[in-house]
């Protein structure tokens, strides 16, 4: 705690214009609208300031947690007084590379990325247009829908590795992407900065039609009018979580303000003033009931905070390319007021 306070003071001194919110309620930064204050929430607008922040955090042995759009998170009501969060909201550059692939920084929303691809007649990202996350959060989760996953179009990723304070580029084949899984989940202190997407040429109207169709299906099936963090549970092998929950008679079941959605039993929604404890209790009840009835163990897909990571050097033994800061196309290198 003492170290965190010292780190915050040092960061404020070095980057006086940095957007740094203190004791910021996470309910204002998550799609679930649940969660008490985090001690600090910084939003660097360049790799230069991000690396300065990381330098100070490492000095004080603090592992920061990254925040994208906060659409897969459940934060505790008690808050996280010992957590330094870093948001990618200001890393928003996106452009076409000479070979026709798309470069996008971590904070670009998947909706914006999919629209950019459509506008440039590139097909392959239609499935992502309705996923409410960012490039960074999507890559780490290998977000997917309607038969598509980000792993199908990511060519490479650049990440900052805090324990070594270096930038690396990793190719798709070494990211060990799987169902809602990537190699980055095991790397404490890994900050995804950008990704390059390789897509095929397609017809703009057909791409638009596909995006519209996926988004209509989403609106029809998902409770988009209520706060949630998407599917509460991962898909168990050979089953669909929503179907098991429904067949267990739990559709509409609620604890406090948390409810198994009436519209889609795979979602837990916040019907008003849900607390994180309402959601924990509800998820527990769902898991026990489904296990008792079907002998299937459901695992959460939602990331339940606080995080359990340490600042250890555990870079995986896979081919990585060093990247110089100057090679990056980040928007500016100083914080502006
Ligand atoms: C209504 C709704 C519908 C959804 N539908 C889908 C769907 O169809 N398919 C699907 O896969 N998901 C879906 N989700 C879940 C969610 O949108 C995805 O998991 C998404 O990829 C999370 O991105 P995010 O930017 O919000 O990440 P966050 O929730 O902010 O963070 C998720 C994790 O990624 C880490 N992280 C974020 N950015 C970075 C970074 N730059 N570097 C390192 N780590 C980072 C965070 O620390 C955290 O561990 C849905 C959610 C909602 C609310």
Q: CATH number for the domain including 66?
A: 3.30.43.10
Angle at 67 between CA 66 and CA 68, to 5 degrees: 125
Cis peptide before 249 (omega within 30 of 0): no
In angstroms, the CA 263 to CA 66 distance is 31
Determine the structural domain holding residue 242 and report its residue range.
233-300
Q: Are residues 136 and 38 in the same domain?
A: no
Which of 158, 29, 16, 3 lies closest to 85 in space, CA to CA? 29
Tell whether 39 is covered by a domain: yes
8 vs 333, more confident: 8
The verdict on whether 287 is a catalytic residue reads: no
Which residue from 32, 68, 146, 175 has its CB within 8 A of the most atoms of ligand 1, so it is best to mutate?
A: 68
Tell whether 107 is covered by a domain: yes
In angstroms, the CA 249 to CA 263 distance is 13
Q: Are residues 180 and 317 in the same domain?
A: yes
pLDDT band at 70 (very low <50, low <70, confident <90, very high): very high
Other beta carbons within 10 angstroms of residue 137's beta carbon come to 26
Other beta carbons within 10 angstroms of residue 299's beta carbon come to 11
Tell whether 120 is covered by a domain: yes
pLDDT band at 317 (very low <50, low <70, confident <90, very high): confident
Q: Are residues 190 and 314 in the same domain?
A: yes
Does ligand 1 have an atom closer than 6 angstroms to the CB of 230? yes
pLDDT tens for each residue of 9-35: 999 999 999 999 999 999 999 999 999
In angstroms, the CA 169 to CA 166 distance is 10
Percentage of the chain exceeding pLDDT 90: 87
What residue has token string 């670009």? Answer: 108
CA of 3 to the centre of ligand 1 (A): 29
Answer with the one of 87, 107, 126 that is the final residue of a domain. 87
Q: Are residues 83 and 100 in the same domain?
A: no
Nearest ligand 1 atom to alpha carbon 109: 25
Q: And the tokens for 244? A: 């098991």
Residue 291: its pLDDT value, please?
A: 95
Q: Which H or E element spans position 267?
A: strand 267-270
In angstroms, the CA 43 to CA 34 distance is 20
Asked whether the predicted pLDDT for residue 327 surpasses 80, the reply is no
The verdict on whether 251 is a catalytic residue reads: no
pLDDT tens for each residue of 269-307: 999 999 999 999 999 999 999 999 999 999 999 999 987
The SS3 call for residue 322 is strand
The verdict on whether 231 is a catalytic residue reads: yes
Which CATH number do you get for residue 100? 3.30.465.10
Q: Are residues 261 and 320 in the same domain?
A: no
Q: Are residues 190 and 316 in the same domain?
A: yes
Which CATH number do you get for residue 267? 3.90.78.10
Tell whether 216 is covered by a domain: no
Total domains in the fold of the chain: 3
Q: What are phi and psi of 149, to 5 degrees?
A: -140, 155
pLDDT tens for each residue of 132-146: 999 999 999 999 999
């Amino acid at each position: 705690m003492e170290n965190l306070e010292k780190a915050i003071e040092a960061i404020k001194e070095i980057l006086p214009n940095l957007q740094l919110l203190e004791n910021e309620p996470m309910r204002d930064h998550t799609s679930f609208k649940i969660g008490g204050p985090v001690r600090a929430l910084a939003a660097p607008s360049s790799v230069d300031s991000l690396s300065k922040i990381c330098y100070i955090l490492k000095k004080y042995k603090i592992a920061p947690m990254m925040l994208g759009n906060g659409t897969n998170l459940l934060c505790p009501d008690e808050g996280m007084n010992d957590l330094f969060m870093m948001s990618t909201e200001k890393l928003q550059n996106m452009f076409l590379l000479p070979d026709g692939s798309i470069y996008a920084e971590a904070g670009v929303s998947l909706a914006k990325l999919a629209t950019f691809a459509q506008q440039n007649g590139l097909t392959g990202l239609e499935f992502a247009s309705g996923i409410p996350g960012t490039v960074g959060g999507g890559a780490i989760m290998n977000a997917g829908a309607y038969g598509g996953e980000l792993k199908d179009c990511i060519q490479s990723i650049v990440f900052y590795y805090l324990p070594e304070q270096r930038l690396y580029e990793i190719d798709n084949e070494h990211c060990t992407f799987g169902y809602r899984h990537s190699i980055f989940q095991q790397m404490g202190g890994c900050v995804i900065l950008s990704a390059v997407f390789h897509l095929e040429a397609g017809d703009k109207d057909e791409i638009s039609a596909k995006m519209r169709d996926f988004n209509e299906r989403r609106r029809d099936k998902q409770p988009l009018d209520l706060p949630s963090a998407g599917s509460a549970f991962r898909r168990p092998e050979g089953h669909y979580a929503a179907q098991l929950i429904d067949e267990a008679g739990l559709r509409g079941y609620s604890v406090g303000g948390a409810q198994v959605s009436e519209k889609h039993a795979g979602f837990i929604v916040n019907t008003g003033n849900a607390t994180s404890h309402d959601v924990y209790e509800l998820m527990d009840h769902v898991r026990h009931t489904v296990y008792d009835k079907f002998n299937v163990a459901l695992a959460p897909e939602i990331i339940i905070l606080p995080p359990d990571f340490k600042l250890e050097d555990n870079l995986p033994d896979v081919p990585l390319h060093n990247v110089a800061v100057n090679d990056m196309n980040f928007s500016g290198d100083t914080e502006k007021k």
